[in-house]
Amino acid sequence: MKKLFAIAGLFMLATSSWGQNVEEVVVTGARTEEGATMPGTFLRKTGDYLLLQVNVTNDTREAPARKDEIYATLRTALAAANKDGSIEISVIDENDLVIALKVDSATVVLRNGDRPDTSATRISVKTKIPQQGANGQALISKLKDFVSGIKVTGRTKLDPDGDVDISIVAPHRYRTEIIGLFAQDAKSITAALGEDYKIVATGIDRPVRWVRMGLLELALFVPYKFEVLPSTVNTFVAVPAQ
């Protein structure tokens, strides 16, 4: 077991640089490679933000006018969020990263709408989730009320999506805590099995993954696996799953 904890400690040091790149990630499902499953040991956390997806559309006939009216509406929304103080407006990129909204062509990607002469885009209206005593339905109502109170320009429409997402800031900063939970679990397993058995873990060096577990919570984990072996075994080769 001393060797097990030493190895775990080395992995903690080797991956400490993860926390240096602060990022906010939307939790839409398990962030893990195909075929991997969540292990028995994981860290359950309340998300950092609740996000309401909002579809922004405009059907003014001329494309430049549609763009101007959408941009004007987004500027109004940003001003309202700044005044509120508890609301932020973002966009989500193709990697599920949450990016603060800037009203420019690099951040606001306009696409053709479902009907002719229509432009559309998508934004996220978000608010922090209290770490204690959070009321998910109240937070959703707060976000919807904020959207309904935005004064639109021209023929712009703001339509909240029916679903909400949660996000977490810098998920890899929890790696040390996750590895600590694994080490505790490994210690309890070896204690229960006795000296005739030992466990050999693989995958503990992999990056942190995450999966949603309810309206406001998620599970963070490292996709490790372990084998229970007789203590007399000195050589072990892990066989990849078929």
Distance of alpha carbon 119 from alpha carbon 156, whole angstroms: 9
pLDDT band at 34 (very low <50, low <70, confident <90, very high): very low
**What integer is the mean pLDDT of 76-98?**
95
* Higher pLDDT among residues 37 and 31, named by residue: 37
d(CA 167, CA 46): 9
Percentage of the chain exceeding pLDDT 90: 65
Statement: residue 99 has pLDDT above 90: yes
Q: Return d(Cα 181, Cα 175) in angstroms, integer.
A: 10
pLDDT at 37: 76
Using the predicted structure, report yes or no on whether residue 14 has a pLDDT greater than 60: no
Residues 211-237: pLDDT tens digits?
999 999 999 999 998 888 888 887 766
Binning pLDDT at 50, 70 and 90, where does residue 90 land?
very high
CA distance readout (Å), 140 to 49, 73, 146, 149, 160? 11, 21, 10, 14, 11
pLDDT of residue 234: 77
d(CA 69, CA 110): 12
Question: What is the model's pLDDT at position 36?
Answer: 55
Give the number of other Cβ atoms within 10 Å of residue 135's Cβ. Answer: 12
pLDDT at 13: 37
Domains and CATH numbers, the chain: 2-46+170-230 (no CATH), 49-168 (3.30.70.600)
The per-residue pLDDT for range 181-205, each reduced to its tens digit, is: 999 999 999 999 998 988 888 889 9
Least confident of 68-72, 87-91, 196-200: 196-200
Q: What's the whole-model pTM score?
A: 0.81
Residue 236 has a pLDDT of: 63
Residues 66, 119: contact at Cβ < 8 Å? yes
The residue-averaged pLDDT of 127-152 equals: 95
Strands 156-169 vs 24-27: parallel, antiparallel or unpaired: antiparallel
- The predicted pLDDT at position 160 comes to 95
- Give the pLDDT mean for 131-153: 95
Quick one: pLDDT at residue 240? 57
Over residues 158-186, the pLDDT tens digits come to 999 878 999 999 999 999 999 999 999 99
pLDDT mean across residues, the chain: 86
